[in-house]
Amino acid sequence: MNIIIQNPNTHLIKRIITDLVNKLSDDAREQRIRKMGHYRDMLFSDYIKEWLNSIKNQVAKSTYKGYYDHVNGRMLPYFENEEILLRDVSLADIYNYMEHLFSEGLKPNTVKHHRSILSCVFTRAVEQELFEYNFINNLKPIKSDQYIGNFYKHDELLHLFEVAENTTIRLEVIIAAVYGLRREEVLGLKWDCIDFTRKTITIKHTVQRFKINGKTQFVVKDKTKSQSSYRTLPLFDFIEDLLKEYKAMYAEYKKIFGNTYNNNYKDYVCLMPNGELMKPGYLSHTFSKILEDNELKRIRLHDLRHSCATLLIQNKVPVKDIQIWLGHSNIQTTMIYTHLDETNKEVSAQVLMTKFQFILTNYNENEIYEMKDETLNNIYEQDIEKVVANLPN
């Protein structure tokens, strides 16, 4: 090292080395471009379209829908405007796109989705030997926002149940809140998943609705979001009574509608009066309308899931049990709710659901609405010893 520093030709040597490295780099780039064939003059935006089309039949429809929306919503308009050739696209171009998304007000999690899609695009390009490596991996990690949804306390849930009593989504609201189900899990419930003999309800089907290639369609799956989402939960007595009530009601609707009744979805629990499968958008919209019309705190339908999780945490149910109850694949997701632990009651999920059943059975809507938290807790605790005594060991 000292020899080089003392050498009067040091700068000349450095220049020669730099020129050599650049030449080798240019030669490698030229060699790569020659190997690209018909991709040599393709726009990067066109290659993204080709990638999107190539995965259409390789991923779930719901996954493809997410890719399709992100690609056509922002990614293609941006890169079509930039007119970057596939062969020339660089890490700087991707970085500029990320900055553009942030400048548009997108949240970190959404930007991460765009980055993930671009990584998939370049993975395919590497497999086709158009690039030597996936340089998306060189981007700095994007820190995710930790989102915690809003939630209802138990008295707010009880009031919601009463308000939903005479609506078309009463069953769906109660099931979503009590079991903490995702919307697609609620709508995916089938009668053969409810065992009235063993008193269980199994979550193993989902129903979603997407617009794909201009056509809106139901996407029904005989599988859940993940393996951990497949779960069997206890069928509480008041839920059993509610389901039997709806089964009898559907039979009456079938008589009323006659030949116009839709029998295609008779295996599903959540139906419209004419036998049609309830649409996800209808459920969410009607839920929001009920809250607005009754001046209730505004939450999303999915926040009923957060409400269930929070109530279980507050009632000292072990986090691992809550993870299984909600079907979380990662316990870290469940741990998000632990900071909301505000009570010291040593009760289980079954006790919590018994609380709902006891109060709904013995008090009307006006009485519940006027009660304070302390009053509800006192009512519940009057019968707590009997409840605990009947719990299985």
Give me the helices (H) in the chain, please: 2-6, 10-35, 44-54, 61-70, 76-82, 91-103, 108-127, 154-163, 170-179, 183-187, 237-257, 280-293, 303-314, 319-326, 331-335, 349-362, 365-370, 373-382, 384-389
Instruction: Report all structural domains of the chain as residue ranges with CATH numbers, in order of start.
Output: 36-138 (1.10.150.130), 154-389 (1.10.443.10)
pLDDT at 321: 87
pLDDT at 254: 94
C-beta atoms surrounding 373 within 10 Å: 11
Chain segment 81-113, per-residue pLDDT in tens: 999 998 888 888 998 998 999 888 888 889 999
Low pLDDT (below 50) residues in the chain:
1-6, 20-24, 341-348, 365, 368-393
Q: Please check whether residue 334 is in contact with residue 328, taking contact to mean a CB–CB distance below 8 angstroms.
A: yes
Distance CA 286, CA 184 (A): 16
Chain segment 122-164, per-residue pLDDT in tens: 999 999 888 888 988 888 887 766 655 688 988 999 999 999 9
pTM metric for this prediction: 0.64
pLDDT at 383: 44
End-to-end, the C-alpha distance of the chain in Å comes to 76
Distance CA 78, CA 72 (A): 10
